[in-house]
Structure formats: C-alpha cells, structure tokens
Structure 1
Amino acid sequence: MTASSVTPLQRLKRTSLVTQIVIGLIAGIVLAWLAPDLAKSTAFIGNVFVSALKAVAPILVFVLVMASIANHKHGQETHIRPILFLYLLGTFAAAVVAVLASTLFPSTLVLTTHDVAVTAPGGIGEVLQGLLLSVVDNPVRALLNGNFIGILAWAIGMGIAIRHAGQTTRTVLEDLSNGVTVIVRLVIRFAPLGIFGLVASTLATSGFGALLGYLHLLTVLIGCMLFVALVVNPLIVLWKLRRNPYPLVFKCLRESGITAFFTRSSAANIPVNLELSKRLGLHEDTYSVSIPLGATINMAGAAITITVLALAAVHTLGIAVDLPTAVLLSVVAAVCACGASGVAGGSLLLIPLACSLFGIPSEIAMQVVAVGFIIGVLQDSAETALNSSTDVLFTAAACLGEEEKLARTA
C-alpha cells in the first residue's frame, strides 16, 4: 500500500494514543467555540467514557493485585516500601509549598451564604476511622462503591491465601487478570473520543467567565501544582535516580496527566496508569499494588487544595498564622489528603478540618467548600492530573532506583 492510498482514518489509527487525545482535545475546543449548543450534547460521550473507566477500575485492581500476589515468587523484590515513602514525602512537600505560596501571595474570598449539601468529617480521628472502616468493608460493597482501600485489602488477603493453592488455580487467576487487562485496553482506546466529549461539553456549559472572580486564588492553586509537578517532584526523582528526571516527569505528565485532567478522577485513571507502567517496563508485582494504592493516599494536589483554600479563609478573616501552626497545617493537610476519595471534588470536603485548626466555624468553612466547587472546573482537573501522574512517576522512580542500586552492588 502506497503512502497516497492510506486513508485519513488509517493514518489516525497509526498515530500514538497521546496524539489522538490531543486531536480530540483540539476538536472539542473548536466545537465548543463554533457550535456551543451541539457541543453540550457531547456530554453523553464523555460521561460514557468516564463511566466505563470507573466500571473497569475496581474489578481490574481486585483481580490484578490478587493475581500478582498469588503468583509472586519468593525472593522477588517489589519495592513497595520505598514507593510508600515517596508518596508520603511528596504529599507533605506539596502541603509545605502551598503554605509558603499562600503566605507570599495571600488570597481573600467574598464569603456569602451558599447552599451546598455536603457533610464534612469532624476531625482527623474521623478521617482515620473512616479509612479503617473502608479496609474492613464488605468486598462486594467495596467493588460496587469503588472503595479502593477495601478492594486492596481483600485483594491482598485473597492473593496471600491463593499463594498456597495449586498451580492450576494460580494459572486460572493469571488468565483472568490478562482477560480483564484486554478489556481495559479496549476502553482506553476510546480516550480521544471521551476527552473530546468532556472538553466540548464542559467549555460550552461552564465556560470560564465564572472563574474570573477567583483568578488570584486559581493562580495560587495551579501555580503551586505546577511548581510541585515541575520542580519538587523532579527533585525527589533526581534524589532517587541520580540522573536527569525530566524525561520521566514529562512522559508521566503527558501520558497520565492529560487523561486525568479531563476525567477528574484518580480512581478512573488507574487503568491508564497501569497501562503506562507496563509500557515503562516496571515490575508488574510492584505497580499492580502501588498504582491503586497511590490513587488513595498519594494526594499532593489534594494537600495543596486543602491548604490554599483553608489559608484563604484565614486571611479573609484576618487570623494570624505563626510558624508552628503553619507546620501543623502542613501535617494535617497531608494526612487529610491521604483520606481524600479518588473522585472529582473529593478533597474539598476535607477543607473544614484544616479550617478547624484556626477556630473557623463550619458555617464559614462550608462557604469555602462552595468556592471550591465553583473553581473546580480547573482546580479539580489540575489536582487530579498532579495526583495521578505522580503515582506512576514515584513508582517508576522507586523501581528504577532500586534496580540501579542492585546493579551497582552486584
């Protein structure tokens, strides 16, 4: 077949998935600009794509983690502990960055009464209690509700138990894992179409006019997230790998961050991250556990959102913040971020916890949550892109770093 006989559709199929996603993004922007009424109707396409991702993610995590542990051979290194350390370090560092940025560029809000039907937890103890209850949740309910903490707990327990079963049982489980992976790859192939629908409908419906009043707040939020993504995270990876971190950083942002930006759900982006980890050549026994774990506790973007919005309320009310309180806020924000659900807007409900450190009543704190929902078109998208891309970044950094350390000592 000559180059001239290749149809545009065939040429599109040969392009990379990232290029197709960019094409879908541009097409969505153009449609929202030229035909906003038609663009609104494409919301169905985007919703179908996000729903498909959310549908396959729980069963994928359950089967993949269980199969990886069941077939894990004694003596294989999984590097989970160094990855967990990087997750916690990155989340705390993000909270510190947010405190510094909010101190240098304080934001103020116009706090009025908003009717927001949300229920915020009453304290850190309640967040930790909720996490513990998620661990012991009924496995069927965990799968139905997308409770990834519960799914991980049951998958790990079942995987350990099946390690003592016969080889036939473990082989069947591995074949089941491969079958679910094929379905996931099929869903991911529709990402360009799904993102086209999400972008077109969002721009046509919301636009960015409502965001102008919160431009300063958005600038601080997204500026912190960009600083963490392009400075803090690369420094952590540089410390781990001892080489230029930016090729890996940009690859994770490009191939994980873009889809996470538009799906606005770390949980929905788990299949994308698992596929990227496989292409990076990482150890399956490691990433099959660390990626879903990262979607629940690696929340640098959530820590930034909680900190910046809480301090915006503090500055609005004229409350002084000393250094010990700022450090305590960083710790609280990091802990709260680990308890944020991996769904759109999950971090906003934890803002009242941070506000309670300064004696801010829940009535005012919930108004701050309402502001968060208003700016969520950009804030939540950027937050999820940072959270989800960092899952792959730190998993790859830990795996490659430990492998290179072993190679040097061999």
Structure 2
Amino acid sequence: MKSLLLKWNQVSLVRRILIGIIIGIILSLSLPDAMSWIIIFGDLFVGALKAVAPILVLFLVMHALSKQRNGNKTNMKSILVLYAIGTFSAGLVGVLASFIFPVKLSLVSGAEDLTPPSGILEVLETLLFNIVDNPVNALMSANYIGILVWAVLLGIALRNASESTKNVIESFSNAITVIVKWVINFAPVGIMGLVFNAIVSSGLSALLGYGKLLVVLLGCMFFVALVINPLIVYFYIRKNPYPLVFTCLKESGITAFFTRSSAANIPVNMKLAERLGLDKNTYSVSIPLGGTINMAGAAVTISVLTLAAVHTLNIEVDIFTAVILIVLAAISASGASGVAGGSLLLIPLAASLFGISNDIAMQVVAVGFIIGVLQDSVETALNSSTDVLFTATAEYAEKRKAGEEIVINTSEVV
C-alpha cells in the first residue's frame, strides 16, 4: 500500500486530477445510488480549501511585509492595471457578442427570495465596510478585503519588531504552506466527488433549453481566456504568451472549475505562483486581492444576461448606453464577491439602465442559477486562473524592461 501511494504521488497533480474526473464521471453514470457517499469527498475538499485560505493569506502577507525593507520594489501597480484592463475587456467582449448573437429568453420564476443590491453605491458601500471589518469576523466569514487590510497593517507595523518575532511569523507561514500542500494533494479525490455530485444532482438535461445562451456565455469566456488575455500578456512581455496562459488554465483553472470558488482556489494559485518563481512579496498580496476584484468572467455574465433580457423585451440600445453597461459591468463585477449571490445578483443593477423592472430582472437571475452548473464553473476558472496569469505577466514585464531573460516554467506540478 505504501509503495502504491508513493507511485501515485509521483504522478503529476494534473494527471491525478484528470483520473479523478474520469472516475467521477464513470461512477455517476453507472452507480449513482450505490456510490452516493463519495459526494462527501468533494465537500471535504472545498471545505478544507476554504478553511485554510483565510489564515494562509493573513500570515503570508504579514510575513512578506514584515520582512520587506524600504525601497524593495513590487509590481502591484502594474497588476492592478492588468486586472482593470482584463475586466473591462471582458465586459466589452460580452456586449459585442450579445449584439452579434442576440439571445431571447423564456423567462421563469424562482428568484423571488433573493435581494439584489439597490445600486452601484450599495456595492461600493459593501466593499468599504468589508475594509473596516473586525479581523476575527473577517477570518470567520472569509472576507478577503478585510483580511488583506489587517494583514497589510500588521505587516507594516511588524517591520520594526525583533527578528525573533519575525521568525515566529515566518514559521507559522511555512507551516500553513505545508498544510496547503497536504490539502492540494487531496484534490483528485475531492474533484472526483464534486464531478459525481454535479452529474447526479444536475445532469445536463436542465441546460439543453438554454443552449444558445450557454454558447454565447461560454464562448465569450473562452474568447477572453484564449484570445484577449494572451494579447494583453503579449503586449506586456513581447513573447509567446500561450505557454503561460495554458499553464495557468491547466493548473489553476481545472481546480477552480470544479470548486466553483475563487476563495477556495487561492491556495492552489499561491502554490502555482511559487512554482513559477514569482516574487512572494507580490503574489501573496495580488492573488487574494485578485480573488476579490479581478472578475472578468463575472463581467461577461452580467453583460450577456442583461442584454439577453434587453433583447427579450425588444428594447433598443444605443452606443452610449452600451458603453455605460460595459463600465458598470466591470465595476460591479469587481464588487461581486461582497454581495450575497455573486455576479448573478448584480444583473438587476445593470438591467435598471434600460428601465427593466426588478421582477423581470430577477427572473433572469433565476435562469442564471439554472445554467450555473456550467456558467459559474467556467466563470470561476477564468477569474481565478487570470489572477496568476496577470501576476506573472507584471513580473515578466519588469524583467523584460531590465533586459533580463524571461523563462516561463511550464513543467507540471508534481
């Protein structure tokens, strides 16, 4: 048994995950009732990731900043610009695709109990209150904006602490990183349970009635991932972007697709950034921040579903209003994590631009939940993998400016 485990661990993580996916599909189609107990593995995996992520972010950021000396350079400004460009570009893609391939919906009910934000000010207000959240509550509720703020403040305050104190923080940071490795090694079994649960509980029949809408949504997200993002990366590093793009999609996007949680994927992204040789002082901040504000997939979802409602009601849209929708979708997407329900509950806010009533907009939200088994999975994969992609891009761009050779480590994680 021990030798089998050693051989299993020697197989690359991506291949182990693919094996888990295949087993999950086979069991869900052949023994859906007899093997229903394996669902718990998926729940345990997501729960473990969500449990370790907040404390990981707190200690990594504290440690990185406490060790940092004045004059040390990070690439945070460039990363934030990349996050903004990526999210606005995704909103633009969603709007253009919706006009080229207009979709009309057969509206349904089922979202009456949900409460969307009343306006963009409420979204921004939520973000501001997350910043000043109680640190204990921020950790308990996985409020990453609040965690980041407290970690940054504590890290800066600890710069003048004794070396022994800094060493204690470093030891905790290293210990949590080891725990993250243990959790990530559980990914193949966890994803097997998630795949089994998704197929048994939802199947694909519920999605067939919304085939055209799904094609437009997923087509936009794939276009952003495989065309827009590579163009952005190439503009910055002037080198073939696809090895880096495919590495991020393969090693971050796959787990994000099945966990459907950017927060749960933070430990995976941290591990990938470390393997890519990125600056820990930068990625320890940029990745959890990206999990909150870098939401290209959400911008696509908001713009496409809003315009689907517009086309359904035969409302004329001028260019000026379309531009406002792109801006609103991008800004709202960046605040989506602070609103219960994520990106779907921001659709009524965008729909109000066109005078669409809240009752109709919430029916569109219900449609979003029906197709969420695929839409939300692909959206999360795009959002989360882009966090690492843009963090690496900013660092490689600085190396290019300095005349250093850019070496992208695309070997698989083991």
- Scaled by the length of structure 2, the TM-score of the pair is 0.95
Residues 236-287 of structure 1: per-residue CA shift (max 9 Å, x gap): 0000100000000000000000000000000000000000000000000000
When the two chains are superposed, the root-mean-square deviation of aligned CA atoms in Å is 1.6
Following TM superposition, by how much is the alpha carbon of 1:343 offset from its aligned partner in structure 2, in angstroms? 9.7
Matched, 1:306 2:302: yes
Of 31-40 and 333-342, the range deviating more from structure 2: 31-40
Query: Is the Cα contact below 8 Å between 2:117 and 2:339 reproduced in 1?
Result: no
Q: Corresponding residue for 1:320?
A: 316
Identity %: 61
Partner of 2:64: 68
Q: Report the alpha carbon displacement of residue 12 of structure 1 after superposing the two structures with TM.
A: 2.0
1:290 aligns with 2:286: yes
Q: Is the 8 A contact 2:263 2:291 kept in 1?
A: yes
1:157 alignment counterpart: 153
Q: CA deviation at 1:8?
A: 5.1
Decide which of 199, 208, 216 is 1:212's aligned counterpart: 208
Quote the Cα distance in structure 2 between the aligned partners of 1:285 and 1:339.
25
1:166-245 to 2 correspondences below 5 Å: 166-245=162-241
Question: Is 1:37 paired with 2:22?
Answer: no
1:83 aligns with one of 79, 82, 88 = 79
SS at match of 1:137: coil
**Rounded Cα–Cα distance in structure 2 between residues aligned with 1:110 and 1:212:** 13
* Separation in structure 1 between the aligned mates of residue 100 and residue 402 of structure 2, nearest angstrom: 43
Q: Aligned partners of 1:42 and 1:366: how far apart in 2?
A: 34
User: Equivalents in 2 of 1:152, 1:376: separation in Å?
Assistant: 29
Alpha-carbon shift at residue 42 of structure 1 (Å): 1.9
Q: Runs of 5+ in structure 1 lacking a partner? A: none
User: Take 1:149 and 1:175, find their aligned partners in 2: how far apart are those partners?
Assistant: 24
- How far apart, CA to CA, are the structure 1 residues paired with 2:211 and 2:364? 15
Shift of the alpha carbon at 1:116? 4.0
Match of 1:14 in 2: 10
Instruction: Read off the aligned partner of 1:182 and give its amino acid letter.
Output: V
1:273-313 per-position Cα deviation (integer Å, ceiling 9, x unaligned): 00000000000000000000000000000000011001000
3-state SS of 1:30 partner: helix
Q: Residue type of the partner of 1:371? A: V
CA pair 209-404 structure 1, distance change in 2 beyond 3 A: same
Alignment partners' CA distance in 1, 2:255 and 2:235: 28
2:345 maps to which of 346, 349, 352: 349
Distance 1:83 1:371 in 2: 34
Q: Is the 8 Å Cα contact of residues 273 and 392 (structure 1) preserved in structure 2?
A: yes
Does the CA-based 8 Å contact 1:264-1:343 persist in structure 2?
no
In the alignment, the residues of structure 1 paired with residue 289 and residue 352 of structure 2 have an alpha-carbon distance, to the nearest angstrom, of 28
- The 1:199/1:344 distance shift into structure 2, 3 A limit, reads farther
The answer for the alignment partner of 2:140 in structure 1 is 144
* Structure 2 segments unaligned to the other structure (5+ residues): 406-414
CA deviation profile, 1:70-90 (whole Å, cap 9, x unmatched): 111222211000000000000
How many residues are treated as equivalent by the alignment?
Answer: 405
Q: Does the 8 Å contact 2:221/2:297 carry over to 1?
A: yes
1:360 corresponds to 2:356: yes
For residue 221 of structure 1, report the CA deviation from its aligned partner: 0.4
Q: Distance in 1 between matches of 2:78 and 2:35?
A: 45
SS of the equivalent of 1:73 reads coil
Instruction: State the Cα deviation string for residues 138-159 of structure 1 (Å, max 9, x = none).
Output: 1100000000010011111111
1:21–1:191 Cα contact (<8 Å) kept: yes
2:391 corresponds to which of 389, 395, 399: 395
Counterpart of 2:369 (choices 348, 369, 373) is 373
TM-score (norm 1): 0.96
